[in-house]
Amino acid sequence: MSAPLRVGTRASALATTQSGHVAEAVRTRLGREAVLVEVTTEGDRSQASGTPLASYGGVGVFVSALREALLRGEVDVAVHSLKDIPTYPEPGITLVAVPPREDPRDVVVARDGLTLGELPAGSRVGTGSPRRASQLHALGLGLEVVGIRGNVGTRIGKVASGEVDAVVLARAGLARLGRLDEVTEVLDPIQVLPAPGQGALAVECRSDDTELVAALAALDDPRTRAAVEAERAVLAALEAGCSAPLGALAEVAEGEDGEELWVRAVALSEDGALSVRASTTGPTGDASGVGTRLAREMLADGAADLMDAPVRKLQA
């Protein structure tokens, strides 16, 4: 009998729940036992200390320790929230599967069951995301956006304690934790576009473990992978990390010639006063190309200047 597959995960309730779903899929789809191995990341340490993510390095802070454990042979598989993964490849590691995605939209948890539009002007809305903060400012509701960090329970607890009037979170996390009953509003992407890859999981393993690479491919969902590849191509082409006010969402829809991608993206100034929005469609088989072309359009309209981010010269 083969040894259990060691699935590396962050230690938070959400991370272990997400990794537990992957472990269960390994058991049911691959017929192999799997156990979770908890790993503490730099992002966890900064979150515990309350350090703003952007000032702690931003890209990859929730990922690097898991990847290091993978390369050292301490775990066989690493599971991440896909939105946390840098867009550039990591030597020796393969993204073997992107399982079916949860609903990627953002949600509001507010006092007294209120929506954003029902909150009085001056109400305090908490988020640790520059993307969410900029889009909240852009709504023009007169809300005070305040920076907060912490796990899902900690953030929602700030509403219960009265420290803030509302928080904005990813719906996917609340769904996986069984806390959707606390949501007071689901935000339409027309109002607030989610982060690239939000709601999706990433399953990685060592590239040289060819047998496992082949086996884990059974957990991949092609429609989800195409959508997140397009979103991440926008992110990569704009060279925007998790600290940049950029939202993107790709959806697979039925077109005249079969399935196609519909991709929307927005880049904003920090205060939300200025924005560049764009959308496009294209074939699912060219997901990265569709996202890159959309990013080119946004660059031509000044997206990089809005985000105050350096932009790599795109290859023709």
Positions of E strands within 85-229: 93-97, 106-110, 124-127, 144-147, 166-170, 185-186, 201-206
Q: Are residues 162 and 212 in the same domain?
A: no
Q: Are residues 134 and 62 in the same domain?
A: no
> pLDDT value at position 56?
44
Instruction: Give the helix ranges, DSSP H, for 31-80.
Output: 42-49, 64-71
For tokens 């790993």, name the residue. Answer: 39
pTM: 0.89
Average model confidence (pLDDT) across the chain: 90
> pLDDT value at position 312?
35
Give residue 172's identity as a one-letter amino acid code. Answer: A
Annotated active-site positions, please?
A: 84
| Inside any domain, residue 69 | yes
Q: Are residues 247 and 263 in the same domain?
A: yes
Counting Cα atoms < 13 Å in the Cβ hemisphere of 70 gives 28
Q: Are residues 231 and 91 in the same domain?
A: no
Domain count, the chain: 3
Tokens of 216: 């884990």
Query: What is the domain extent for residue 81?
Result: 5-98+200-220
- Answer whether residue 50 shows pLDDT above 70: no
Q: Are residues 290 and 251 in the same domain?
A: yes
pLDDT band for 257, please (50, 70, 90 cuts).
Answer: confident
Do the beta carbons of residue 158 and residue 167 sit within 8 Å?
Answer: yes
pLDDT band for 62, please (50, 70, 90 cuts).
Answer: confident
Q: Are residues 30 and 92 in the same domain?
A: yes
- Answer whether residue 60 shows pLDDT above 80: no
Count the neighbouring beta carbons within 10 Å of the beta carbon of residue 153: 12
Count the neighbouring beta carbons within 10 Å of the beta carbon of residue 52: 14
> pLDDT value at position 99?
97
Q: Are residues 254 and 175 in the same domain?
A: no
Q: Are residues 77 and 206 in the same domain?
A: yes
Q: Are residues 78 and 208 in the same domain?
A: yes
| Inside any domain, residue 74 | yes
Burial of 50 by CB count in 10 Å (0-12 exposed, 13-18 middle, 19+ buried)?
exposed
Q: Could you give the CA distance from residue 170 to residue 151 in angstroms, rounded to a whole number?
A: 12
Edge-first strand listing for the sheet containing 246-255: 246-255, 258-268, 275-283
> pLDDT value at position 61?
73
pLDDT band for 131, please (50, 70, 90 cuts).
Answer: very high
- For the ranges 18-22, 65-69, 254-258, the lowest mean pLDDT is seen at 254-258
Q: Are residues 126 and 207 in the same domain?
A: no
Give the CATH number, domain containing residue 209. Answer: 3.40.190.10
